[in-house]
Amino acid sequence: MFDKILIANRGEIACRVIRTAQRLGIRTVAVYSEADANARHVAMADEAFLIGPAPAAESYLRTDAILDAIARSGAQAVHPGYGFLSENAGFAEACAQAGVVFIGPPVGAIRAMGSKAESKRLMEAAGVPLVPGYHGAGQGVAELTRAAETIGYPVLVKASAGGGGKGMRVVTEPAGLAEAIASAKREAKAAFGDDSLLLEKYLGRPRHVEIQVFADTQGHCVYLFERDCSIQRRHQKVIEEAPAPALADGIRKAMGEAAVAAAKAVNYVGAGTVEFLYQDGGFFFIEMNTRLQVEHPVTEMITGLDLVEWQLQVASGKPLPLAQDQLTCRGHAFEARLYAEDPARDFLPAIGRLTHLEPPVENRHVRVDTGVRQGDEVSQFYDPMIAKLIVWDEDRDAALRRLRRALADYHVAGVTTNVGFLGAIAGHPAFAALEIDTGFIERYRADLLPPPAPVPALGLAFASLALLLWREEEGGKAATRSGDPFSPWHQTNGWRLNDDNHHDFRFIDGDAARPVTVHFIRDGWQLDLPDGTLTARRATLSNRTLTAELGGERRTATVVQNGFDITVLHDGNTWRVKLDDPSAKAAGQDGGDALLAAPMPGTVVQVLIKAGEAVTAGQPLIVVEAMKMEHTIKAPADGVVGDIHFNVGDSVSEGAELLGFEAS
């Protein structure tokens, strides 16, 4: 076994690998960009080396910088995590040439399976069933168009390299194919440095089922059961579970054996995942990920194994710890990916500071894998994942209850998150009833992503009481500091010289003003809310946790204030309001039409119009790439384009006005 390893990654997966290495007595070396100097994985490691500026291309994707850190640290092996260089054959080869062990598969297996097109050719030869499609060398629009006609619409345009939903487009009719090809090529080139594509028949309601495989250098290979990853949005997994529910035992066994055959076909070593689409009793190979998957914890929860430990053992030349007939599966597990993103804005990544971060308590049923702490920044430069929430119990129903409770107990403030969206999926009756496939989110979109609703009376009540208690605390401190601590002017109990005892608050909820008046009564408060009156008693506030008796019912919420912004977290709900104040209004002025502004920091990749050009409503004007995803800015109405403020390649900040526009 190794004495010291370097983790060529960041965030959650770097922390995950460090935990196992520390348990095994292995020293760890972290690498970090300038943006990650104070990151959690840096603090956890025994040593850490700066490898470059914030952009990944100048740091985490720099083979030379990472090899230099390996040489300086004396690490014997490098764990690539997932993403970045984890499936880069050139990096694995460079590690071997430098005399350091790459904790992953052989270079040949990475090259073979790293190209979706090449992997399909190999699987076809090995007898593994494939989705009907095209994975040829010809990449011209004409060739791809002919292939699509042969396959039949709808087709899936898919980047040959990489994953995570990048470079994927569903095309339902011939008219949309050329633009989908061009867009997918641009996105694939930006994300993976390779713009080659393949086409697949787009199945109507398939499930995404994947098999965890493991192989050693002695020729042994096993499968560690399956995971269902069907709950996806934009081809990116949202909630995964293991084992895959409602699969016949014969199908499970056949898929596992096909996955092992796929691994053996490329002389695989280490951890890998073979992904299939399953529909109507049939399954079809789609790709193999030659690395540890993001969702590997659900497999660990049902097997009781540490897959990172297995990786380290296999990479050090040891045989697999268990044979196929020794592997057992117990219970059911879910993993939910908690992201800083705004589901109401088409899952646009969010950036900002995590002003409050309180995960649920971990125990044998609940696990939290994260790379951030309270106070950390979610940066524009990297994937905006906050954490993976993993739960386990004896059966699916019990595990699903655990998931719903743990999501309700996950409190995040400072950035917009998808925790409410995850809770809506976990609580949806169709999800509980196993009506799952890759179209689940779109099919139930109206249920999962309802229109924004006003903050309810309960949220306003919590915000008002928290403000009162904070002011009471500050008033007490001010009184202590003053020369007259008993002066009534220091009181925060609503005392007025010639008025009744009350406080007036005015909150901004979206575009609406929501006034609240709090009257002091003998044993508590009476809150005059926009929709009625509520009595509050016995309110206490401790470390942002507010507990009060509201309308005769004892309730608890977390209330976070950041300037004039107030966030209330209660029972899985996140309510945000702004305390109305003249200075807050001045600070919040918007500088332009949001439809023609950059949705977040990014880079202009296409300018589709010219100054003075007449355009129609909905016409694409500019394409901005942010966090490796393309966002098209469209005309809000018929009109004429004014000055264009940015060119292709320019960086833009969030809210920057991209161009002038005059509606007809």
Active-site residue numbers?
291
Whole-number CA gyration radius for the chain? 27
Q: Are 123 and 48 in contact (CB under 8 A)?
A: no
Spatial contact of 158 and 184, defined as CB atoms under 8 Å apart = yes
CA 331, 294, 435 angle in degrees (round to 5)?
55
Residues 456 and 441: their CA atoms lie apart, in Å, by: 26
Q: Contact at 8 Å (CB) between 657 and 645?
A: yes
How far, in Å, CA of 110 to CA of 644, rounded?
A: 44
SS3 label, residue 605:
strand
- Do the Cβ atoms of 170 and 184 come closer than 8 Å? no
| DSSP state letter for 651 | E
The Cα 196–Cα 116 span in angstroms is: 10
Q: Among residues 228, 231, 221, 268, which one has the least CA distance to residue 244?
A: 228
Retrieve residue 559's tokens: 């209330």
Which of helix, strand or coil describes residue 157?
strand
Q: Residue 489 corresponds to which amino acid?
A: W
Query: Residue 475 is which amino acid?
Result: G
Angle ∠(232,237,241) on CA atoms, nearest 5? 100
Long-range CB pairs of 324-327, under 8 A, 24+ apart, other chains included? 324/222, 324/223, 327/222, 327/224, 327/225, 327/303
Helix residue ranges per DSSP H, 545-610: 582-587
Rounded to whole angstroms, how far apart are CA atoms 132 and 324? 31
On whether the CB atoms of residues 40 and 17 are closer than 8 A, the answer is no
CB 537 within 8 A of CB 548: yes
- Residue written as token pair 């925790």: 419
Distance CA 108, CA 123 (A): 15
Count of Cβ atoms closer than 10 Å to residue 654 Cβ: 14
